[in-house]
Amino acid sequence: MTASPAAVDAAGWFAPEQLPMLPQRLVEHLLSLTGAPEVLISIAGIAASAGTVLLVFSSAFALLSLIERKVLARAQNRIGPNRAGWFGLLQPLADGIKMLTKEDVVPDKAEKFLHFLAPVLIVLPAILALGVLPYGRDWTPLPLEAGLLFFFAIGALTELSVFIAGWASGSKFPMLGAMRAISQMVSYELPLILSALGVVMVSGTLSLQEIAAQQSGFHFGFIPAWNLFTPWGLVAGLLFFICSIAEANRSPFDLPEGESEIVAGHMTEYSGFKYALFFMGEYLGLFAIAGLGITLFLGGWQPPVPGLAYVPSWVWFAAKISVVIFLYLWIRASFPRLRIDQLMRFAWLCMIPMALLTLPAAAIWHFTGRGAFSWLVTLPLLLVPWIILGNVFNRRLAPGRRRYRFADG
Amino acid sequence: MIPLLILAPLILLAAVGAVWKARPVHAALFLALALSFTAVLYLALGADFIGLVQFMVYVGAVAVLIVFSLLIIHRGDESEEAARRRRALPLGLLCALPVPVVILAAVSRGAPTTVEGAPVLSVRQLGTLLFTTHAPAVIAVVVLLTAVMVGAALLAREPQPDRRP
């Protein structure tokens, strides 16, 4: 994973670039001083590394729960939480205490074991997925050869656990939410994976740190050589972004938990800390999928402007993830929820064909030298279907103009 | 050998659960468990790619399977299930009997093979093999799966004459 502790001098440990690895190195170094066996040292090092990820992202989760409420409040011309601490900064703490002290209600008709299992299962894949992302030039907590595959394989568990939550509750709204969740997630997972495939084809690897490293450099000295700034990458990146909203069950794709329709969907029969676990899983999953999108299309930890390479790479990753998460919040504040048939139709008639088209586009891009000529060939290949699909959607499938009986005369 | 000894009983137990459970959702969840243990077995054997694909494809597929099982199997079936199960048990055992016999015969007949270290294939090599040497098999599977999907969609669809497309 990293060079052995002895090889790196202590001054290097505190270099800004190496900071995220500090806990792991400290633990390994301290243990090696005590003369612990090699296996124990490496296990403790991995645990420290995982602990770093967990600590950073669970505090980010706490912060995001506040930021989301603040941003939504601002978008709706409100003030938002401002009572607990300065700017409401202690609000997450207050929420946490409230959640922990609430009664844990399990319905009589629930399948007790599965009802308990679901909140645990939903946090697990999100945490595991966070482990394979390359956060910095040197820091990937779990550098897998097939990291992308691992990410998606673990993601399959999310669908199942959402379904278990809904089904095991033994009541109607959760069941409806679970059915919606499964059909939505299965439908949107297809274009999600297909849009990531183009990156794999062009990069020629499934390893996330390799994919991030390949997007270095700048075109014309100022446009970053990210996958987003290619014709297929632009389309795939947009598709990936839309699908990631759907996969994370966020507005406007939050049908599984649409409050105005089915209370809270699969979470209806949960209370107290189990309910909080669902939120934790959701937000950690959001971080994970945003991090994956950044790695695939936005150059991972690469700086966006030339000449800023002295800023530690993990700072760039954090900055990019903040921007993407803000986009999610913005979208949530701006768009109304879709209807289930609109959602499915959009996935199968628009997203999947477009995602499939990015594959030949990526192949052509790869084999025509990735230059101006490739732009000339691949851009029409993607643009024309895009326009046609958009037109079809707007004309045929969108609801017609509403007529108001009295106002329109 | 040790991973096999630990995982094989677990896989077997989960598979028996998948067959034994009366409620289709329970059965499907046990199936997911059995398939994930199989994935763990692949991972333990060092076949990372196939292990992860096993997990992604099959655990994801079980989610779809559950949806289909809920759509196709209507309510009321569950209570009859126990009685039907008792009637079907002898026939099922009769059908299942040849499987261990065939496996035992195959294993005892063939010469014991010793592999000098597991063959290590990169993802690239696997892909090349799949899309060149084994392309006909892949195409056949694709056709089969498409047919199955269309069939399932037809089964799930309730006859609704006056429904708008």
Omega prior to B136 cis, within 30 of 0: no
Share of chain A above pLDDT 90, in %: 4
Contact A186 B64 (CB under 8 A): yes
pLDDT band at B73 (very low <50, low <70, confident <90, very high): low
A248 contacts: CB under 8 Å, gap ≥ 6: A282, A285, A286, A289, A328
From residue A36, alpha-carbon distances to A2, A28, A43, A194 in Å are 19, 10, 11, 46
pLDDT at A4: 47
CB of A123 closer than 8 Å to CB of A274: no
Contact A179 B67 (CB under 8 A): yes
Question: How far apart (Å, rounded) are the C-alpha atoms in residues B69 and B156?
Answer: 9
Radius of gyration from C-alpha coordinates of chain B: 20
pLDDT at B160: 61
What predicted TM-score, i.e. pTM, was given to this entire model?
A: 0.81
B145 touches chain A (CB under 8 A): no
CB of A193 closer than 8 Å to CB of B57: no
Question: How far apart (Å, rounded) are the C-alpha atoms in residues A22 and A40?
Answer: 18
Please say if the pLDDT value at position B67 is more than 60: yes
Neighbours of A240 (CB within 10 A): 28
**pLDDT tens digits, one per residue of A338-348:** 877 778 888 88
pLDDT at A1: 42
Indicate whether this complex's ipTM tops 0.90: no
**pLDDT tens digits, one per residue of A193-239:** 889 888 888 888 888 888 888 888 777 777 787 888 888 888 889 89
pLDDT at B144: 93
Please say if the pLDDT value at position A20 is more than 80: no
Please say if the pLDDT value at position A5 is more than 70: no
pLDDT at A2: 46
pLDDT band at B75 (very low <50, low <70, confident <90, very high): low
Q: Tell me the residue type at B29.
A: L
Domain limits, chain A: 102-391
Residues of A in contact with B67 (CB under 8 A): 179, 182-183, 186
Residues of B in contact with A183 (CB under 8 A): 67
DSSP structure string for B42-95: HHHTT-HHHHHHHIIIIIHHHHHHHHHHHHHS-TTHHHHHHHHHHHHHHHHHHH
| DSSP state, residue A88 | G
Q: Judging by beta carbons within 10 Å of its beta carbon (0-12, 13-18, 19+), is residue B83 exposed, middle or buried?
A: exposed
**pLDDT tens digits, one per residue of B82-140:** 677 777 788 888 888 888 888 888 877 766 666 666 666 677 788 888 888 888 999 99
Domain limits, chain B: 2-111, 120-160
**pLDDT tens digits, one per residue of A29-60:** 787 778 777 778 778 778 888 888 888 888 88
**pLDDT tens digits, one per residue of A249-272:** 887 887 777 777 777 778 888 888
**pLDDT tens digits, one per residue of A143-155:** 777 888 888 888 8
Yes or no: is domain B2-111 CATH 1.20.120.1200? yes
Question: How far apart (Å, rounded) are the C-alpha atoms in residues B109 and B91?
Answer: 28
Contact A150 B66 (CB under 8 A): no
Contact B48 A145 (CB under 8 A): yes
Residues of A in contact with B63 (CB under 8 A): 156, 159-160, 163, 182, 185-186
